[in-house]
């Protein structure tokens, strides 16, 4: 998890649409965050926590390559964030 984005590797059965799963995850997590960290108990209409879009890529049998990419990407994001910290 990064400050401005999240990498998630999940397996979705073929009977579910990717958009359905992503929408469900974004909706449930937004409600959880609002309840846990913002003190909201109900009435979440009109509030937006996640961006409208998302990126999805399919993986064949080489799941470990994607896992390693995510690990490296998180390290690279942290490194870049540290470099820009001193530019401000």
Task: Convert the pLDDT of each residue in 29-41 to its tens digit.
Answer: 888 888 887 777 6
Q: What is the pLDDT of residue 85?
A: 60
Rounded mean pLDDT of 49-57? 80
Q: How many domains does the chain have?
A: 1
Rounded mean pLDDT of 52-68? 80
The answer to whether residue 43 is domain-embedded is yes
Of 2-6, 34-38, 41-45, where does mean pLDDT reach its minimum?
A: 41-45
Q: Structure pTM?
A: 0.60
Q: Taking Cα atoms as reference points, which of 22, 23, 41 lies closest to residue 31?
A: 41
The one catalytic residue in 16, 37, 54, 69 is 69
The answer to whether residue 72 is domain-embedded is yes
The answer to whether residue 9 is domain-embedded is no
Beta strands in 13-58 (DSSP E): none
Higher per-residue pLDDT: 24 or 84: 24
The answer to whether residue 5 is domain-embedded is no
Q: What is the pLDDT of residue 3?
A: 65
HSE at residue 32, side-chain half, CA atoms within 13 A, is 6
The answer to whether residue 38 is domain-embedded is yes
DSSP code, position 13: -
Give the structural domain span for 68. 18-85
The answer to whether residue 67 is domain-embedded is yes
Give tens-digit pLDDT for 12-23. Answer: 888 999 899 988
37 included as an active-site residue = no
How far apart are the C-alpha atoms of 18 and 22, rounded to whole Å? Answer: 6
């Amino acid at each position: 998890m990064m400050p401005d984005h999240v990498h998630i590797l999940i397996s979705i059965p073929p009977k579910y649409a990717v958009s359905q799963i992503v929408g469900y995850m974004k909706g449930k997590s937004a409600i959880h965050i609002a309840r846990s960290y913002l003190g909201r108990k109900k009435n979440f209409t009109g509030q937006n926590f996640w961006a409208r879009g998302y990126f999805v890529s399919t993986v064949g049998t080489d799941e470990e390559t994607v896992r390693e990419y995510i690990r490296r990407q998180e390290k690279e994001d942290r490194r870049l964030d540290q470099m820009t910290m001193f530019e401000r």
